[in-house]
């Protein structure tokens, strides 16, 4: 169930999580035993420079002056002698092949640089490689880790490169770009993004007498209740909407903030977020944990024809841009629609809200040829490559100028998503160095709140108490 | 080196010198292991002790903060949650597994036709890596189409959601453990065969029933091995990680610790702190607390074992 409140990940990572278990766990398991000491053996080299500049109180994003310290080494321009770069990316299978295709194009067009790709979905490996002083030259990451890794000096800031090559950061979708930035520095560039919208089963809605999807939160609740089929003993047969909705997305609906930059306070008790949790809680309590658990245990696999939305167990679902591709694959006859996330009547100005997650590329600290690495990242985030990459994966592009590219016409459902991507109310969880802790604490709290182990106020106050001390 | 010594004009070396030379030669031969042990066990061991007193994020230099990590841990609800889940595995799941291996060993000690085949059969799961068996069990325990529930339904029993229901996740792990009890059984079996046959013969002549023979001969005879297995099981259970890691979907899944944190074990929390939150100092302190807990438990078991372990001899 926590799966449903937590971030919905990309297809990529959903699939990857399954496919890469073997790899991840073998190494992960090995690490855990004496993990504490592994980093220790090699903590010395250059642990200071990037983080030093990161903590400087500058605010102008990407201004050439702001990152002067960080650029001490990569002074001269494009490399003259031949270099070979290693590139660790988290994608596997067909998605990995799409990356390899791009790598080949890059190598063909850049005689001096040879990039060697490695599908390495155990992201913790990057940590040990960086602390061990032998990192890849380019690596992929989740956007939400950038602040943590960037401020700790694991990522080389890209500010100077961006300034030097006049990369137009304004073309990046703001909600996607901010996840790669912290305290005025850009540590990575987003290459793909994800957010969720409302999917609804047209037939089930029509049978219940609805001709249009719910537009407001009140309607969403009404639809959810009316579309559910509950037996006399409380057993669920059909759910209008799974109550453990993604509280980050719905927090945006109510204008919820998780962080107050002025007072440097985490604000899990923000009224907007509270409202989102309350919405979930009301719906949850209508059925109760026991019935919901039993129901959810009976549901089929996400990536199969038994996906509850495909099989009519859910009348509506909140899901990402990859879902239409799955529907086409697993349930081609499903008559469905994609609609904006409903808005709250109290906040009509926040229509078309959503929560963005990104995948990013960065240069790890200690990379031997940062200039060449940047060359690759710059090339990869160019319009043309970005479109090729995201269209192949069925992920959303991160540059506004690519949203109307005809390459996406072939991807099912993308029209709705690329249009929605233009909404100014798409935000992302604030970029914070303690994101993982914060997010885990929120997930735990929401779980306890829904299951009645604590109240909303107590639960969220508990999060604040745990997380606020992490603010530096 | 030794040849050179031989070629030299004869120079009488004292026994003491010879002894010393033998020592150093031996040390040189053992040096690959010694170096490895120092670099990969001793150094990390004390390194983690040092880091446990620091705030260390892997990338910047560690900052000495004294006992702050330990103090924070003691008021960390997640620590207690993880500890109680882990104790469940150590004190409920592990003994169940131990008894099961013992029973299997007793069965495998029977003199029936084809016993080597059965022995092989029971040992096979022990050869399968935990990762593979965990994935296998997620299929078997699938609430809808898993074999376990198909069987349960066919005999009209309740079909729990196993790995998806917080109340059933740990029992599921116990079941997975039972399946692999052949490994422990093998050790018990070896010990069983070491119990002198004449004890049983004498007991039979005196008219002791089979259960009395087990209670008065087999168990005392096995007790040193039982102690060993119990201790190893305890230490292993305190560090349980892989099953939960796999079933929770791995490090980047956001579902680490399983449904409703029911598989949130100590080692999972440690891993989370070290490799996801990048709090190496905190993780090191957690590791040391675990180490102390394990040492204390081991001591308690060893101390009380004098009462029930029988080492034979006259």
Round to the nearest angstrom and report the end-to-end CA distance of chain A: 33
* Residue B29 covered by a domain: yes
A315 in the same domain as A201 = yes
SS3 B14: coil
Confidence at residue A61, expressed as pLDDT on a 0 to 100 scale = 35
H-state helical runs in chain B: 2-7, 15-37, 43-51, 68-74, 77-88, 94-108, 115-127, 130-140, 147-154, 169-179, 182-193, 197-205, 210-213, 219-238, 242-247, 266-271, 280-305
Q: Report yes or no on A123 lying in a domain.
A: yes
Residue A195 has pLDDT above 90, yes or no: yes
The secondary structure element, H or E, covering residue A139 is strand A138-142
CB count in 10 Å sphere of residue B46? 12
Tell me whether residue A53 is in a domain.
Answer: no
A426: three-class secondary structure by DSSP = strand
Alpha-carbon distance A79 to nearest alpha carbon in chain B (angstroms): 27
Q: Please tell me which residue, A280 or A26, carries the higher pLDDT value.
A: A280
**Is B8 part of any domain?**
no
Flag whether pLDDT at A11 surpasses 80: no
A9, A20, A40 member nearest B51 (Cβ): A40
Asked if the model's pLDDT at residue A453 lies above 50, the reply is yes
CA angle A349, A426, A184 (to 5 degrees): 115
Closest by CA to A69, choosing from A82, A80, A56, is A56
A301: pLDDT confidence band, cut at 50, 70 and 90? confident
User: Closest Cα partner for A461 from A262, A194, A269, A257?
Assistant: A269
- A382 and A454 housed in the same domain: no
Residues 294 through 313 of chain B touching chain A, CB cutoff 8 Å:
none
Distance from the Cα of A110 to chain B's closest Cα (Å) equals: 32
Q: Taking a C-beta distance cutoff of 8 angstroms, is the pair A367, A373 a contact? A: yes
- Chain A contact for B220 (CB, 8 A cutoff): no
C-beta of residue A179 within 8 angstroms of C-beta of residue A356: yes
Q: Which region among A280-284, B271-275, B304-308 has the lowest average model confidence (pLDDT)?
A: B304-308
B66 Rama class: left (phi>0) / alpha (psi -120 to 50) / beta: left
Instruction: For residue A7, name the pLDDT band (cuts at 50, 70, 90).
Output: very low
Tokens 């409140």 correspond to what residue? A5
Considering the domain architecture, whether residues A229 and A303 belong to the same structural domain is answered as yes
Residues B46 and B118 in one domain: no
pLDDT of residue B20: 92
pLDDT surpasses 80 at A3:
no
- The pLDDT score that the predictor gives to residue B254 is 65
- Does any CB of chain B come closer than 8 Å to the CB of residue A435? no
* CATH assignment at residue A248: 3.40.190.10
The A residues from 98 to 127 touching B (CB cutoff 8 Å) are: 122-124, 127
A307 is a domain residue: yes
pLDDT at A300: 80
Band of residue B6 on the pLDDT scale cut at 50, 70, 90: low
Domain boundary among B68, B103, B131: B68
Q: For A25, which of B250, B267, B280 is closest by C-beta distance?
A: B250
The residues, ordered by sequence, that sit 6+ positions from B152 with a Cβ below 8 Å of its Cβ are B158, B159
pLDDT tens readout for residues B298-311 = 999 999 988 888 87
Closest CA to A7 of B249, B272, B255: B255
- Residue with the two structure tokens 């002025």: A262
Domain-located, residue B154? yes
> Are B52 and B79 members of one domain?
no
**Distances B3 to B6, B7, B13, B20 between C-alpha atoms, Å:** 5, 6, 15, 17
Tell me: the pLDDT tens digits for A54-71? 333 333 333 333 333 344
Residue B227 forms contact with A (CB below 8 Å)? no
Q: Provide the H-helix boundaries in A298-369.
A: 323-330
pLDDT at A354: 95
Q: Specify whether the CB–CB gap between A420 and A340 falls below 8 A.
A: yes
Residue A305 per-residue DSSP state = T
| b/e sequence A117-156, b meaning 16+ C-beta within 10 Å | bebbbbbbbbbbbbbeeebbbbbbbbbbbbbbbbbbbbbb
Pick from A129, A90, A42: nearest CA to A359 = A90
pLDDT value of residue B247: 84
pLDDT of residue A5: 38
Rounded distance between C-alpha atoms, residue A70 and residue A183, angstroms: 14
Query: What token pair was written down for A5?
Result: 């409140």
Domain-terminating residue out of B49, B68, B87: B68
Mean confidence (pLDDT) of chain B = 89
CA of A7, closest CA in chain B: separation in Å?
A: 8
pLDDT given for residue A143 in this prediction: 93
Contact A441, A434 (CB under 8 A): no
Residues A393 and A446 in one domain: no
Mean pLDDT, chain A, whole residue set? 83
| pLDDT band, residue A408 (cuts 50/70/90) | very high
Q: What pLDDT shows up at residue B188?
A: 94
Poorest-pLDDT segment among A5-14, A341-350, B233-242: A5-14
Of B143, B267, B277, the CB nearest to A436: B277
Residue A12: per-residue pLDDT? 36
Residues A219 and A334 in one domain: yes
Q: Count CB-CB contacts under 10 A for residue A6.
A: 21
Cβ–Cβ below 8 Å for B249 and A40: no
Q: Compute the average pLDDT of residues A453-465.
A: 95
Give the DSSP H or E segment for A175. helix A174-177
Say if residue B23 is in the same domain as residue B128. Answer: no
Token couple for A332: 């081609």
Q: How many separate domains does chain A show?
A: 2
Q: From A150, A145, A52, A168, select the one nearest A363 (Cα to Cα).
A: A150
Phi/psi for A200 (5° steps) reads -140, 145
| Angle formed at CA A130 by CA A126 and CA A132, multiple of 5 degrees | 115
For residue B191, being part of any structural domain is answered with yes
Is some CB atom of chain A closer than 8 A to the CB atom of B283? yes
For A396, phi then psi, to 5°, come to: -85, 140
Phi/psi-derived region of residue B55, left when phi > 0, alpha when psi is between -120 and 50, beta in every other case: beta
A349, A313: one domain: yes
B114/chain A closest Cα distance in angstroms: 36
Does residue A226 fall inside a structural domain?
A: yes
Q: At B171, which CATH number?
A: 1.10.3720.10
List phi, psi (to 5°) of A282: -60, -45
Identify all chain B residues contacting A52, using CB atoms and an 8 Å cutoff. none
A410 and A378: one domain?
yes
Q: Which residues of chain B are within 8 Å of residue A36 when distances are taken between CB atoms? A: 44, 47-48, 51-52, 274, 280, 283-284, 287
- Which chain B residues have a beta carbon less than 8 Å from that of A20? 250
Pairwise CB contact (< 8 Å): B254 & A3: yes
Express each pLDDT in B104-147 by its tens digit. Answer: 999 999 888 989 999 999 999 888 888 888 889 988 988 877 89
DSSP string, B267-286: HHHHHIIIIIS--HHHHHHH
Q: Which residue from A369, A357, A371, A360 is spatially nearest to A126, judged by alpha carbons?
A: A360
Query: Which stretch of DSSP H or E encloses residue A91?
Result: none
* Cα separations in angstroms, A417 against A172, A203, A389, B6: 16, 22, 17, 84
User: Do A365 and A375 sit in the same domain of this protein?
Assistant: yes
pLDDT greater at residue A44 or residue A291 = A291
Of A2, A28, A294, the CB nearest to B251: A28
The band of B259, judged by pLDDT with boundaries at 50, 70 and 90, is confident
The pLDDT score that the predictor gives to residue A123 is 86
Question: Is the same domain home to B56 and B77?
Answer: no
Query: Whole-angstrom Cα distance, residue A315 to residue A418?
Result: 24
The C-alpha atoms of residue A241 and residue A204 are separated, in whole angstroms, by 12
Closest of A144, A314, A317 to residue A245, by C-alpha: A317
Average pLDDT of span A329-347: 95
Q: Whole-angstrom Cα distance, residue B51 to residue B64? A: 8
* Mean pLDDT confidence for B152-160: 87
pLDDT band at B11 (very low <50, low <70, confident <90, very high): low
Answer whether residue A214 shows pLDDT above 60.
yes
Q: Considering only A72-86, A296-310, B86-100, which range has the smallest mean pLDDT?
A: A72-86
Structural domain boundaries, residue A403: 11-25+64-194+356-427
Residues A61-85 as b or e (16 or more Cβ within 10 Å = b)? bbeeebbeebbeebeeeebeeebeb
**B77 and B54 both lie in a single domain:** no
B62 and B132 both lie in a single domain: no
Which tens digit of pLDDT belongs to each residue from B12-30?
Answer: 778 888 999 999 999 999 9
Q: Which residue range(s) make up the domain with B33? A: 13-68
In a domain, A236, yes or no: yes
In a domain, B5, yes or no: no
Q: Model confidence over B73-102: pLDDT tens digits? A: 999 989 999 999 999 999 999 999 999 999
Q: Is residue B182 part of a domain?
A: yes
Asked if the model's pLDDT at residue B206 lies above 50, the reply is yes
- Domain-located, residue B7: no
pLDDT (mean) for A113-133: 90
- For residue A458, the Cα-to-chain-centroid distance in whole angstroms is 28
CA-based nearest distance A207→chain B, Å: 28
Q: A321 in a domain, yes or no?
A: yes
Q: Write out chain B residues lying below 8 Å of A290, CB-based.
A: none
Residues A115 and A250 in one domain: no
A17/B252 touch (CB, cutoff 8 Å), yes or no: yes
Q: Is residue A44 part of a domain?
A: no
Q: Is B154 found in the same domain as B118?
A: yes
B238 part of a folded domain: yes
The first and second tokens of residue A459, run together, are 């639960």
> Which residues, listed in sequence order, are joined to residue A192 by a DSSP beta bridge?
A359
Minimum-distance CB partner of A36 among B57, B259, B284:
B284
DSSP letters for A358-412:
EEEEE-BTT-S-HHHHHHHHHHHTSHHHHHHHHHHHT-B-SBGGGTT-GGGGGST
> What residues pair up with A14 in beta bridges, in sequence order?
none
User: In this structure, what token pair is assigned to residue A364?
Assistant: 């790890």
Q: What is the pLDDT of residue B145?
A: 79
User: What is the pLDDT, as a whole number, of residue B313?
Assistant: 56
Q: Do A350 and A418 fall within a single domain?
A: no
Claim to verify: residue A217 and residue A341 sit in the same structural domain: yes
Which of B68, B88, B109 is the C-terminal boundary of a domain? B68
Contacts of A425 (CB under 8 A, 6+ apart): A252, A350, A351, A352, A353, A354
Computed over its alpha carbons, how large is the radius of gyration of chain B?
A: 26
Has residue A8 got a pLDDT over 50? no
CA-nearest of A1, A448, A341, A230 to B78 is A448
User: Nearest-CA residue of chain B relative to A127?
Assistant: B275
Domain count for chain B, please give it.
2
Q: How much is the pLDDT for A304? A: 87
% of chain A residues with pLDDT over 70: 83
In this predicted structure, what is the pLDDT of residue B312?
66
**A43 has a pLDDT exceeding 50:** no
Burial label for A415, CB within 10 Å (0-12, 13-18, 19+), is middle
Is pLDDT above 60 for A9?
no
* B7: confidence class by pLDDT, cuts 50, 70, 90: low
Q: Please, which residues 133-172 of chain B have a Cβ atom closer than 8 Å to chain A? A: 135, 143-144, 160-161, 164-166
Q: A161 and A374 in contact (C-beta within 8 Å)?
A: yes
Same domain? For B31 and B128 the reply is: no
B3-17 average pLDDT score: 67
Closest chain A residue by Cα to residue B291: A33
How much is the average pLDDT of A102-123?
93
Binned at pLDDT 50, 70 and 90, residue A320 comes out as very high
* Residue A16: per-residue pLDDT: 34
Report residue A111's pLDDT band, with 50, 70 and 90 as the boundaries: very high
**Co-location of A336 and A393 in the same domain:** no
Looking at the DSSP bridge assignments, the partners of residue A194 are: A357
Please check the confidence at residue A21 and state whether its pLDDT lies above 50.
no
């Amino acid at each position: 169930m926590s799966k449903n409140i937590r971030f919905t990940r990309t297809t990529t990572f959903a699939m990857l999580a399954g496919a890469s278990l073997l790899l991840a766990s073998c190494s992960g398991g090995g690490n855990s035993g004496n993990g504490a000491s592994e980093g220790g053996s090699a903590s010395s080299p250059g642990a200071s420079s990037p983080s030093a500049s990161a903590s400087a109180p500058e605010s102008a994003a990407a201004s050439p002056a702001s990152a002067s310290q960080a650029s001490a080494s990569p002074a001269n321009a494009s490399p003259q002698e031949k270099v070979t770069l290693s590139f660790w990316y988290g994608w596997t299978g067909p998605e990995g092949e799409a990356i390899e295709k791009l790598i080949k194009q890059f190598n063909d067009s850049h005689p001096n640089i040879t990039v060697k790709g490695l599908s390495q979905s155990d992201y913790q490996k990057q940590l040990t490689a960086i602390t061990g002083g032998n990192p890849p030259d380019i690596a992929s990451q989740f956007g939400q880790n950038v602040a943590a890794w960037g401020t700790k000096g694991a990522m080389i800031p890209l500010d100077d490169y961006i300034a030097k090559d006049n990369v137009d950061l304004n073309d990046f979708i703001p909600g996607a770009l901010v996840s790669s930035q912290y305290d005025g520095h850009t540590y990575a560039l987003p290459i793909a993004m994800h957010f969720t919208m409302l999917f609804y089963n047209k037939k089930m809605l029509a049978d219940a007498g609805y001709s249009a999807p719910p537009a407001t939160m009140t309607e969403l609740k009404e639809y959810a209740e009316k579309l559910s089929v509950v037996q006399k003993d409380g057993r669920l047969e059909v759910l209008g909407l799974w109550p453990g909705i993604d509280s980050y997305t719905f927090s945006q609906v109510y204008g919820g903030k998780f962080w107050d930059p002025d007072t440097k306070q985490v604000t899990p008790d923000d009224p907007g977020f509270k409202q989102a949790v309350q919405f979930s809680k009301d719906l949850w309590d209508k059925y109760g944990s026991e019935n919901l658990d039993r129901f959810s245990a009976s549901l089929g696999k996400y990536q199969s024809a038994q996906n509850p939305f495909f099989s009519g167990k859910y009348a509506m679902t909140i899901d990402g841009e990859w879902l239409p591709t799955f529907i086409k694959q697993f349930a081609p006859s499903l008559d469905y629609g994609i609609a904006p996330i409903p808005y709250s009547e109290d906040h009509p100005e926040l229509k078309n809200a959503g929560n963005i997650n990104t995948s990013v590329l960065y240069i790890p600290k200690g990379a031997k040829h940062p200039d060449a690495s940047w060359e690759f990242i710059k090339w990869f985030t160019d319009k043309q490559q970005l479109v090729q990459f995201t269209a192949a994966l069925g992920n959303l592009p991160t540059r506004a100028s690519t949203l109307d590219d005809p390459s996406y016409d072939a991807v099912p459902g993308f029209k709705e998503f690329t249009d929605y991507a233009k909404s100014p109310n798409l935000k992302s969880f604030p970029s914070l160095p303690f994101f993982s802790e914060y997010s885990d604490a929120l997930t735990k709290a929401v779980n306890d709140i829904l299951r009645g182990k604590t109240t909303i106020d107590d639960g969220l106050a508990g999060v604040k108490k745990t997380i606020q001390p992490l603010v530096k | 080196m030794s040849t050179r010594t031989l070629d030299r004009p004869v120079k009488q070396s004292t026994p003491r010198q010879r002894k010393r030379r033998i020592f150093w030669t031996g040390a040189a031969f053992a040096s690959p292991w010694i170096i490895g042990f120092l670099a990969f066990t001793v150094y990390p061991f004390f390194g983690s002790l040092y880091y446990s007193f620091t705030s260390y994020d892997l990338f910047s230099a560690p900052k000495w903060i004294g006992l702050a990590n330990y103090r924070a841990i003691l008021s960390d609800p997640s620590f207690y949650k993880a500890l109680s889940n882990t104790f469940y595995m150590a004190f409920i799941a592990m003994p169940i597994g131990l008894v099961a291996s013992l029973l299997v060993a007793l069965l495998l000690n029977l003199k029936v036709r084809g016993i080597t085949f059965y022995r092989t059969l029971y040992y096979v799961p022990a050869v399968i890596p935990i990762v593979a068996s965990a994935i296998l069990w997620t299929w078997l325990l699938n609430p809808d189409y898993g074999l376990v529930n198909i069987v349960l339904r066919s005999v009209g029993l309740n079909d729990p959601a196993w790995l998806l229901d917080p109340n059933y996740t740990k029992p599921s792990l116990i079941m997975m453990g039972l399946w692999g009890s052949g490994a422990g059984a093998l050790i018990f079996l070896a010990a069983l065969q070491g119990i002198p046959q004449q004890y049983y013969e004498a007991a039979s002549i005196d008219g002791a029933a089979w259960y009395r023979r087990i209670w008065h001969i087999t168990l005392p005879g096995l007790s040193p091995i039982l102690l060993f297995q119990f201790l190893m099981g305890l230490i292993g259970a305190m560090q349980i990680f892989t099953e939960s890691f796999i079933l929770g979907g791995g490090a980047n899944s956001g579902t680490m610790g399983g449904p409703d944190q029911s598989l949130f074990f100590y080692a999972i929390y440690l891993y989370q702190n070290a490799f996801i939150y990048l709090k190496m100092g905190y993780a090191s302190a957690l590791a040391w607390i675990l180490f102390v807990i394990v040492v204390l438990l081991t001591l308690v078991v060893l101390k009380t074992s004098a009462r029930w372990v029988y080492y034979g001899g006259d």
